[in-house]
Amino acid sequence: MNPIVVGVDTGGTFTDFVVWQAGRLRLLKLPSTPEAPEQAVLEGIRTLLPEPPPHGFTVLHGTTVGTNRILERKGARTAFLTTEGFRDLLFLARQDRMQLYSLKPSPRPTLAERALCAEVPERLAYDGTVLRALDISDLPRLIRRWKREGVESVAVCLLFAYANPAHERELKRLLEPHFAVSISSEIAPEFREYERASTTFLNAYLAPVMTRYLQTLERQARAYGALRLLISHSAGGLMDAQRACAHPVSTVLSGPAAGVMGAWAIGRGVGAHRLLTLDIGGTSTDIALIDREPLRTYYGEIEGMPLRVPRLDVHSIGAGGGSIARLDVAGGLRVGPQSAGACPGPAAYGMGEQPTLTDAHLVLGHLLPHWFGFGRITVDPDRAARAIEPLATALGLSLHEAAGAIVAQAQAKMARGLRRVSAGRGINPESCALIAFGGAGGLHLCALARALGIHQWIVPPYPGVLSAYGLLWMDCVHEARRTVLMPLPETRSEPLERILLELRAECEEAMRQMGVPVGSYELHALADLRYEGQSYELTVPFTPEHPMRAHSHFEQLHLTRYGFTMPERPVELVNLRLRAVALNPKPAGASWEPPADPEHDLPRETTLWIEGKPVRVPVFARAELQPDAPIPTPALIVQPDSTVLIEPGWHARVDGRTGALIGQCLP
């Protein structure tokens, strides 16, 4: 019996669906319902599966609920509990300054309220030795005060708790009857207390909200016949809903990570192994580098607040289809990061008044109104033009010049992001293929490829739902980690092997909760290494029997990343990691079932603006393109979920194996 799997990616503007059933893939795109995200998810499932399947189905879900709650400051009211003397930890942050030359630099942002930050008498040494026993005599009074203040959740981060979690676990036991509790030794068991505290606080801030959302979604999905609900996490894998409720901060890059995994699958299919991914949605553009496999990192930020969790190295830019174009105080044009989102959306949608990047594309003729959004979304080009006219007047430009300036500024931000994740890591962007997806990715890829000197680009078969498709390529993944802080041993080390056994036990428990049998998953050991005296680490494979192999990997990666090595300097082992990976079935070879085309005739030609000039170009329906046949360029390729603008100077064809659209730069 072939399983039925539903991939659902909830974005800020649209919710995307891909169903894998009987070797075929069906897709759907619906407007998101931000106030109750589960409504759009359940509506899409019922639309694609009108009757509950008799043998059930699995739901794989990428969500932006956690991300949006942080960005919109709509999480739970959260208290912070730490070691005596460290109450202001989240406010003092680090000594680095976000504005280096400002005489009055802005402090690091935090969602914490100082009145809800408290201390508890206790102290551990760096190796976990108890220097002062935990004193809980004042805890009942603190609980009563927090209840009066309406606190829902508590973040606990004690000094050196990563080395000895006993005090944090005791506090969790006492606080859990009253609040949702997140402790740093479970959420971010690594050294660097400020980053650990920030991550734990953000987790606590999201926990009540995500728990309510996921429990509601899981209950209603199961009522319709779902067997399992798995959530994608930022590291490019899947976890069960129970763990997602306990570790919601791991979902902050849930959707973008799924897009990278989908791009990786398409890239392998066409034989491109070094990729720059360009995911342009309604709210943001997400960019990543794939060099044989997606790059991973263990540090990031959201709104200036540190996150210390395993994640794919995705760089987000506030430039999407809904990004608002405006004039700054000096009269200069700015595009984003503010977005019109799903409601009211771009001016052309009929509810908003502010001009957006989507409105600019409509004015330039890059989008065909009757074929937009599966033909379900009515757009008004005249309304888009009226929204841009005041900007054009203020800038002294014609309507088309102003629309072109909006697009050009958005593309400049995207190009900077692409250089940052490639050249910024020692990889020449010219050696990469650019793979564009999201609803708007195909509108920008030719201009961006030209700007970066990239010679090949790829557009997946249905780029507007690639993140939902990428969920089908994800495996169940759990990563356990532990701070070690010791010189890298030259031979086998019993202390390290004991730590790896503890990490293995954690991985086995996480896999058990996801229903993965023991022995049916792979374990991969990793080590965070640095030269003695450095502040940041590089992660490399680690073999307990031969630790010095990690040294060779480290020096090679250090040379690639930074252009030099220091062979005379000792290497320090900072963190040990163990990644458990349970391989899931993949939709390799599955065929796409084209959605119904909009009930409007497709024009054979259209006039659009490229580089400031009107150009008459042919229009093709993506489904009608013949495999491996050359496509006349320039051209506009339309399909229900996306539009691809092929500019002059490119040879384009549809790959006969994968259905991907591939462009090669003409000599």
pLDDT in tens, 595-624: 776 656 788 999 999 988 999 999 999 888
pLDDT band at 78 (very low <50, low <70, confident <90, very high): very high
DSSP state of 125: -
Query: Residue 73's pLDDT band (boundaries 50, 70, 90)?
Result: confident
Nearest-angstrom CA–CA distance, 530 and 572: 5
**pLDDT computed for residue 664 by the predictor:** 92
Q: How far is CA 593 from CA 101, 257, 589, 609, in A?
A: 56, 25, 13, 33
User: Measured between alpha carbons, how far is 578 from 508 in angstroms, rounded to an integer?
Assistant: 11
The Cα 347–Cα 450 span in angstroms is 30
pLDDT of 374 > 80? The answer is no
pLDDT tens digits, 515-546: 888 888 999 999 999 999 998 899 999 999 99
What's the mean pLDDT in 171-182? 97
As a three-state string, the secondary structure of 532-578 is: CCCCCCEEEECCCCCCHHHHHHHHHHHHHHHCCCCCCCCEEEEEEEE
Query: What is the spatial distance between Cα 355 and Cα 395, in angstroms, rounded to a whole number?
Result: 14
pTM summary value: 0.89
The CA-atom distances, in angstroms, between 519 and each of 480, 512, 513 are: 17, 11, 14
83-118 pLDDT, tens per residue?
999 999 999 988 877 777 888 888 888 999 999 999
What does the pLDDT look like over 442-491, one tens digit per residue? 999 999 999 999 999 999 999 989 999 999 999 999 999 999 999 999 88
The pLDDT, as a whole number, for residue 139 is 96
Is residue 199 scored above 60 in pLDDT? yes
Of 197 and 34, the structure prediction assigns the larger pLDDT to 197
Structure confidence at residue 229 (pLDDT): 95
Which pLDDT band holds residue 566 (cuts at 50, 70, 90)? very high
DSSP state of 432: S
How much is the pLDDT for 373?
62
Calculate the CA 159 to chain-centre distance. Answer: 30
- Neighbour count for residue 231 (Cβ, 10 Å): 28
pLDDT tens, 336-371?
Answer: 888 887 678 888 888 888 999 999 999 999 998 876
Looking at residue 263, the DSSP 8-state letter turns out to be H
**Alpha-carbon gap, residue 110 to 89, rounded angstroms:** 10
* pLDDT category of residue 513 using cuts at 50, 70 and 90: confident
pLDDT digits (tens, 9 = 90+) for 389-432: 999 999 999 999 999 999 999 999 999 999 999 998 888 999 99
- Average pLDDT of 308-321? 88
- Residue 138 has a CB neighbour count (10 Å cut-off) of 12
Cα 596 to the center of its chain, rounded Å = 30
Average pLDDT on 16-21 reads 94
% of the chain with per-residue pLDDT over 90: 69
Strand 456-459 versus strand 661-665 pairing type:
antiparallel
